[in-house]
Structure 1
Amino acid sequence: MYLWSTYGQYLLAGWPMSAIAKSMGISPSTAWRWVKPCRALMAKEFPELYHWWSARQDRTNLEPPAHIAAQAQAFLSGLELLLTTQQAVCSKCGSPHMQRIDERRPDFRCPSCWTTVSLLHGTLLSRLGHPEHWLGFAQGLINGESVVDQQRRTGLCAPSCRRWQIRFTRMLEQQGHKELIQWITWLRSRRVKEVSDFVRGGGLLKTVAGSRYSAESKRRFAAPPKHSRKRKNVS
């Protein structure tokens, strides 16, 4: 019984059963056996808490608390502003009348001294491709989507999606959104459990392999088929 309060804290925090068992020094089967009575007790004694927690634990509602929602909106709004801004100041002559030269990326050219400036230079996004997917990827990250989910969303390969997860998470850290990162970690663990339960119940997941962009590039740059030449009969 002396472990129950600790178990309840881990359960509310959304820890996976394997992590709870390892941290508490109990068997995974024991950790799983305690879930049902704990949920029943919470539903009886703390119905409002259970309603809020179970909806997010079971991923039927991904809406975050108000202060975390504010952090998410600030991050998404800042990213959107960076991608759509039409204003930049020349780093060489100081002119505020730079002209945007790329529709997808915030790249500018100064009409006075012809200096080119990228607002992504020196940031974590400077060498990241496909900016048309950044906002959608960031929203999927906030929703706790897995790498495979992000592959389906963007069409990128798994290594690229993992790299993007690291970059965007580091951006959240730089902007001080610690609670949002914890929220994302929790939702991602819930997504892992959701997929595991689906597969354990006999469900089949559609596999995602490779990147549709690499496939398009291969088709675009593929060598044209060789046509066999027929010899003419010389009489």
Structure 2
Amino acid sequence: MARVVIVGASGAIGGELVDAYAKDTLNFVYAVSRKPDSLKWCARENIQPVSLKGGAADEPMVSAPDDEDLARIARLIGADGPLDRVIVATGMLHSNGIAPEKSLKALSYESLSTVFMVNAFYPAMVAKHFIPLLAKHEDSVFAALSARVGSIEDNHLGGWYAYRASKAALNMLLKTASIEARRANPNALVVGLHPGTVDSDLSKPFQSRVPKGKLFSAEFAAQQLHAVLESLGPEANGRVYAWDGRAIPF
């Protein structure tokens, strides 16, 4: 039985990733969320909701990562044995008083630190506690949701300073972790995943600009990411992949 952890299971993509993996009854899925009691599939036998500390359940996660709480749930989940897949499906583009910046004059310490906290620091702290739990005797993967706009090479439009930079920082954190992880565990992969533009609260204010056919349902995005993850080989370590399986340049 493959053991899968989805962090951010109450989000649009996270919830669909839980469903995508749990459809295979040979998988056992840990659905990590700040509001596990609200998850639609709590009663399924191969899904175990795991509660995270955090702010109000109906507000974005904007507080500093709780290192002690992540250590707690890592011990809880790790006690059952090695992990095959760990996916961090959290992210932030906008929130109360925070929006993608169109120019330098819109930058603030508050918005930069908050967006970096959610998009880069939090996945890194999850990696700290969960990469050591990856299975060593068979292929295993740690992945986090990134974004195409985090590519420095592919940035031709500018703007969205905090979001772009936080995803670029995430990509570097994942790349660095991939090198360390491979030294200790030759069968482990560490990768970033770009789900495309998904019909969710994160993209809602910007959906009118999305080309026809490029706004994906969360279910479609999760199914694509599931397929991509299960197709990756050793050469994928440290890279970022889009929903269509194509590598994204740094």
Structure possessing the higher radius of gyration over alpha carbons: 1
Structure (1/2) with the larger strand percentage: 2
Per the TM superposition, whether the score is higher than 0.5 is: no
Q: TM-score, normalised by structure 1?
A: 0.22
Q: TM-score, normalised by structure 2?
A: 0.21
